[in-house]
Chain A
Amino acid sequence: MSSVCRVLGTSVMAAMLFAVTVSTRAPLRVCADPNNLPFSNQHGDGFENQIAALVARELERPLEYFWLPQRRGFIRNSLNARRCDVVMGVPAQYEVLLPTKSYYRSSYAFVSRRDRQLHIESFDDPLLKSLTIGIQVSGDDYNNPPAAQELATRHLVQNVRGFTIYGDYSSPDPQRAIVDAVANGRVDVAIVWGPLAGYYAQRESTPIDVRPITHASTTAPNRFAFDIAMGVRADDARLRNALDTVIAQHRNAIRRILRAYGVPLQ
Chain B
Amino acid sequence: MTTRTGIAGVAVPLVLLLAAACGRQSDRPGGGRGPQQASVPGAPPTMHLVSAVSTGEWRMPAGDYGNLRYSTLDTIKTTNVMNLQVITTFSTGVAHGHEGQPLVFGNTMYVVTPFPNNLIAVDLTKPGGAIKWIYEPHPDSRAVGIACCDLVNRGASFGAGKIVYSLLDATVVAVDAETGQEAWRTRVGDINKGETFTGAPIVVKDRVLVGNSGAELGVRGYVAALDLHSGKELWRAFNTGPDADVKIGPGFHAFYAKDQGKDLGVTSWPAEQWKLGGSTVWGWISYDPQTNLFFYGTANPGVWNPDLRPGDNKWSSTIFARDADTGDARWAYQVTAHDSWDYDEIMENMLVDMDYGGRPRKLIIHPGRTGFVYVIDRETGELLSAEHFEPTNWASGYDLKTGKALEDPAKHTHFGTVTQGICPSSTGAKDVIPSAFSPRTGLLYIPAHNTCMDYEGIEANYIAGTPYLGADVKMYPGPGGYQGELVAWDVAHNRKAWGAKEDKFPVYSGVLATGGDVVFYGTMDGWFKAVDARTGTELWKFHVASGIVANPITYLGPDGKQYVAVYAGIGGWMGAVAFPEISADDPYAALGVVGAMKDIKKYTAPGSTVYVFGL
Contacts and interface: CB of A to CB of B under 8 A. Distances in A.
B539 interface: no
A91 B469 CA distance: 10
B305 A226 contact: no
Contacts of A91: 460-462, 467
A72 B308 contact: no
A149 to B, nearest CB: 5
Interface stretch (A120-128, A168-176, A249-257): A168-176
Given A81-B581, A221-B416, A142 B470 contact: yes
A14 B586 CA distance: 41
Interface string A61-91: 0000000111111101100110000000111
Given A74-B145, A164-B194, A168-B193, A151 B581 contact: no
B40 interface: no
Interface string B95-118: 000000000000000000000000
A143 B192 contact: no
B275 to A, nearest CB: 8
A228 interface: yes
Contacts of B467: 90-91, 193, 226, 228
Interface in B135-149: 142, 144-146, 148
Interface stretch (B16-24, B223-231, B266-274, B385-393): B266-274
A137 B217 contact: yes
A241 interface: no
Given A142-B471, A165-B464, A226-B460, A152 B307 contact: yes
Among A73, A143, A148, find the residue whose CB has the most chain B CB atoms closer than 10 A.
A143
Contacts of A136: 466
Nearest to B415: A149
A145 B466 contact: yes
B465 A142 contact: no
A69 B145 contact: yes
A93 B145 CA distance: 23
B457 A221 contact: yes
A219 B416 contact: yes
Given A143-B468, A165-B463, A71 B272 contact: no
Nearest to B276: A162
Contacts, number: 203
Looking at chain A's contact residues, the main secondary structure is loop
A39 interface: yes
Nearest to A34: B142
Contacts of B194: 139, 164, 166
Nearest to B581: A76
A138 interface: yes
A137 B307 contact: no
Contacts of B303: 137-139, 144, 148, 162
B278 A139 contact: yes
A144 B460 contact: no
A158 to B, nearest CB: 5
A160 B271 CA distance: 7
Contact of A36 (B218, B304, B464, B471): B464
A256 B314 CA distance: 49
A146 interface: yes
Contact of B463 (A71, A153, A223): A71
Contact of B469 (A96, A144, A167): A144
Given A33-B465, A139-B217, A141-B342, A71 B471 contact: no
Contact of A71 (B146, B276, B416): B146
B432 interface: no
A264 interface: no
B475 to A, nearest CB: 12
10 contacts: A48-B465, A137-B276, A139-B215, A141-B304, A142-B304, A157-B270, A166-B194, A167-B464, A195-B465, A196-B465
Interface of B: 142, 144-146, 148, 190-194, 214-219, 270-273, 275-276, 278, 302-305, 307-310, 342, 415-416, 426, 455, 457-473, 581-582, 586, 591-592
What 8 A-B pairs are tightest by C-beta distance, nearest first? Answer: A139-B217, A152-B307, A139-B216, A143-B470, A71-B145, A39-B465, A164-B218, A221-B416
